[in-house]
Structure 1
Amino acid sequence: MPTVGAAFAQPIKQLAPKKIFLKSAWATSNIGDIGHTPGTLRILEEHYPEAEVTLWPSVVNAEVEAMLRKRFPKVRIVKGNLQQGEGEPYNPVILKEFQDTDLFIYNSGMHFNFGLFNYDWNSKIGLVTQFLLCQELGKPYGLYGHSFDKFAEPSPIIFRQVLNKAAFIYCRDSASLVYLKEHGVKAPIMEFGPDGCFGIDTLDEPKGLAYLKANGLKEKEFLTVIIRSHTPKPNTSPDTKDKLNPPQATPEQKAQDQVRFEKMNALITAWVRQTRKKVLIAPEVFKEMAAAKTMVFDQQPADVQKYIVVRDTFWNADEALSVYKRAHTVVGMEPHSLIMALAVGVPVIHTCPFTYGKKGWMFKDIGLGDWLFDIDKAPKEDIINTLLAIHKDYKATRQKAFQGMAFVKQRQQDTVQTIRKVVV
């Protein structure tokens, strides 16, 4: 007969770790679409280390996958589409992940939009199917760090069916939160939650340092500039209907580019002539490398061109982060290079084209509204003066960047505490 002591000596049964199925990794031609994934994985690793996370990437190449496996060796990666083909049954590998998971998280982006850039209804059916499957299986799901810009008809009636039943919706900008409420979305938890890319910490120091050395870019002695133009992606069909990357820019889009690049070029000229420091034109998006040469470098006076480096090869997010870490300031028309720079304590200025969506407001939401400009409306002098003010009192402005990130980190912790409660 066992003694009382023996009874107490019996091992306590350990509860199985909760499983999270993360949909992410939207593209490899945009380091923002790459950066969401390591960012959110690091947030989960830090604040929910005991969870078993499986990543379901939309698009990865060998370089991106190697980066993820090296940094997150415990994370499983499964590949494939939910459906094996048009009209075909579900992919059994992906279906099993849905069946086994305790929570499905759809990572940061702006996918719940219809009519903002195009009216591709087929892609939206594929999007909502994932969440409808969760509903059918009784699995909770949530959206982490999203922007919501346009629900053209007939999307609202479909989107509400999915969004109202989400366990949580974290909007990466407060304007999107307002938009959801205006359109009758009533998920139980709808709050501001920073873009997952803010969590990124993946560096490639050998590549980054080698690039800086080869191009004479000294730490904290160069400005980095990110552009965005109305130019097509490589190999775009002339029939493609895409307002974001048009195969042929309209007269209105050409006029927008002219206004925007006049301001960006004036900023670069002022920086070089007043500081005598270099400028790196870096690509957030693959397609912008050609525009960096023709729309920026070629437009600068000869005395300024001597200080400009135009990166003409694309990179992974880890090498980019190693370079941004050593920049003086990062100025950009795209947000995610700026997010990455803030994550490593570098001041930023967002010259935002709000025609691309509400996501730019995130910088105001984290307390950095003074560094946010509507590039279509702001006088170029205001942007230039802000950059020169950062340069004049660099120590104070770096502290401002740290304060913005302190707010972001608190929200990251808060969001994961909510995730923990969802999977109890």
Structure 2
Amino acid sequence: MIFCPETNNPGTLPNLIHPMQSRRDFLKTGTLLSAPGIVHISLTEAIEVSTRKSDPTILLRSSWNDNNIGDIGHSAGTLRIMERYLPQARLILWHAAPRPVTEALIRKNFPRVQIVNGGFEGADSDAKSEVMEAFRQADVYIHNSGMSMNYGLFNYEWGSTMSNLVPFYYCLENKIPFGLYGHSFDKFAPPSQLIYRDVLSRAAFIYTRDTESLDYIKEMGFSAPIMEFGPDGCFGIDVRDEEKGLAYLKQAGLDHQKFLTVVVRTNTPHLDSDGKGNLLNPTQTPEKMAEDRLRLDKLKAMITHWVRTTDLKVLIAPEALKETKYGKTLLYDHLDNDVKQKTVFRDTFWNADEAMSVYARAHTIFGMEPHSLIMGLALGVPIIHARPLAHGRKGWMFRDIGLPEWLFDIDRVSSEQLIDTLMTIEKGYPQAKNKVTKAMAYVAERQKATMETVAKATS
């Protein structure tokens, strides 16, 4: 909306923007908005005006997994950011594989978003035509937040590497701008850096969700025109399922801001992996099990201190499906009986909107995973992140948004440090909430800037 001082009413800028003016031309004349008699408009409004006539189509590849609410949250958050700052844009969400849990949430909360399924190549003809039609319509293609642009981190399979890069080659061939949004980069084993550097240097933009990744790609010689810090898309999430969330809180006996949420990440494979593991979900070797015990003993000490000191409850919640099993056997079952009586273990998985409705009522969220913590911050809830450094650079995002005192290496931090940090939050809760507000204000600033870049890429 634009304010016209001559009429003292909201309206359009008469005789300033021709109805057929392009987005590119409008952005070039942006200085006119500061002329005498014209009130400066916000970035959000500038983007809205610039897209009003041309209505760009944005194709977003996302939704990596239905068994991790963070992978669901990437999609819901980024779509909300786009709807907020580019309200006239047409949004297409591409799932390379069907994601029924994510799709249910998207259809409920984003009715205007079109979802397409299928592989970019090698898929059956119907799926391929649906995806390729989306590319033919796209004004910009965006690969969403995650860790998929790595080689040698999870495996050394060229097939998975090329499946992510081939769409970029198609965009280059067909002059479609493309970019990466809130991504982490951890490893380019030789000779993969030659390919990644060549392709991604021709991206319209690369936003990394942590500055460590940004430094890494610069060191590797990447040279895209815009390479900046841009928060994980999940920071934009605002979806809720109040009916399910409130029902669960009532059934679990959890009261508003009267419980600590604890999210674990164990050295265990996916439940359907037949024991085969990877970097984030490793096979349960004796060494990995011993590592888990050391880590979870720290959480046990923190939970015990919280319960016995505050007389408040604890919710052990799953960010990943597998922790509905291992969170119980490796943590909850090891708590002392008096602490167990004050601790709720959630043994069923949930969609991101139900989790959001529960997290909104938490006092504080502790996590070894980042995305429940991102959801907490988006809801105004203080967080503590203690992660294994081996899980990648993504954890540094909390330092980068201004919360370094709440970020730890789980293998180096002591239980006493975790307890001190938690009790400092509890004793100075208003101050902790203010820290969250300040951090999220910076996130919002960066979100606006990223969407301005997307708007320019579509012009």
**TM-score over 0.5 (shorter chain):** yes
CA RMSD of aligned residues (A): 1.8
User: CA offset at residue 90 of structure 1?
Assistant: 8.7
Matched letter for residue 228 of structure 1: R
State whether structure 2 residue 76 is matched by structure 1 residue 41: no
Match of 1:334 among 369, 373, 390: 369
Map of 1:188 onto structure 2: 225
Map of 2:249 onto structure 1: 212
Structure 2's unaligned 5+ residue stretches are 1-14, 21-51
Does the residue aligned with 2:385 lie in a helix, a strand or coil?
Answer: strand
State whether structure 2 residue 385 is matched by structure 1 residue 350: yes
Instruction: Indicate if the aligned counterparts of 1:224 and 1:282 stay in contact, CA closer than 8 A.
Output: yes
Does the residue aligned with 2:402 lie in a helix, a strand or coil?
Answer: coil
State the Cα deviation string for residues 309-357 of structure 1 (Å, max 9, x = none): 0001100000000000000000000000000000000000001111100
Map of 1:227 onto structure 2: 264
Question: For 1:353 and 1:142, how far apart are their aligned partners in 2?
Answer: 29
Question: For 1:418 and 1:160, how far apart are their aligned partners in 2?
Answer: 21
Against the structure 1 CA distance between its residues 90 and 296, is the aligned structure 2 distance closer, same or farther, given a 3 Å change threshold? Answer: closer
Question: For 2:398 and 2:96, how far apart are their aligned partners in 1?
Answer: 27
Map of 1:74 onto structure 2: 112
Structure 1's unaligned 5+ residue stretches are 1-7
| 114-123 vs 288-297, greater mean Cα deviation | 114-123
Match of 1:159 among 180, 189, 196: 196
Map of 1:255 onto structure 2: 290
Map of 1:375 onto structure 2: 410
Map of 1:18 onto structure 2: 56
Map of 1:418 onto structure 2: 453
Instruction: Indicate if the aligned counterparts of 1:102 and 1:140 stay in contact, CA closer than 8 A.
Output: yes
Instruction: Indicate if the aligned counterparts of 1:223 and 1:327 stay in contact, CA closer than 8 A.
Output: yes
User: CA offset at residue 162 of structure 1?
Assistant: 1.6
Against the structure 1 CA distance between its residues 275 and 58, is the aligned structure 2 distance closer, same or farther, given a 3 Å change threshold? Answer: farther
State whether structure 2 residue 400 is matched by structure 1 residue 400: no
Instruction: Indicate if the aligned counterparts of 1:83 and 1:90 stay in contact, CA closer than 8 A.
Output: no
Number of aligned residues: 412
Match of 2:88 among 31, 50, 56: 50
Map of 2:42 onto structure 1: none
Map of 2:153 onto structure 1: 116
Does the residue aligned with 1:21 lie in a helix, a strand or coil?
Answer: strand
Instruction: Indicate if the aligned counterparts of 2:268 and 2:277 stay in contact, CA closer than 8 A.
Output: no
Does the residue aligned with 2:262 lie in a helix, a strand or coil?
Answer: strand
| 189-198 vs 155-164, greater mean Cα deviation | 155-164
Identical aligned residues as a percent: 51
Matched letter for residue 127 of structure 1: N
Map of 1:284 onto structure 2: 319
Match of 2:172 among 131, 135, 147: 135
Instruction: Indicate if the aligned counterparts of 2:184 and 2:210 stay in contact, CA closer than 8 A.
Output: yes
Matched letter for residue 260 of structure 2: L
Against the structure 1 CA distance between its residues 255 and 134, is the aligned structure 2 distance closer, same or farther, given a 3 Å change threshold? Answer: same
Instruction: Indicate if the aligned counterparts of 2:388 and 2:410 stay in contact, CA closer than 8 A.
Output: yes
Match of 2:349 among 308, 314, 321: 314
User: CA offset at residue 58 of structure 1?
Assistant: 3.4
Map of 2:400 onto structure 1: 365
Question: For 2:145 and 2:179, how far apart are their aligned partners in 1?
Answer: 11
State the Cα deviation string for residues 129-163 of structure 1 (Å, max 9, x = none): 11111111111100000000111122111111221
State the Cα deviation string for residues 166-193 of structure 1 (Å, max 9, x = none): 1000000000001101111111100000
State whether structure 2 residue 333 is matched by structure 1 residue 269: no
Question: For 2:235 and 2:97, how far apart are their aligned partners in 1?
Answer: 20
Matched letter for residue 43 of structure 1: I
State whether structure 2 residue 139 is matched by structure 1 residue 102: yes
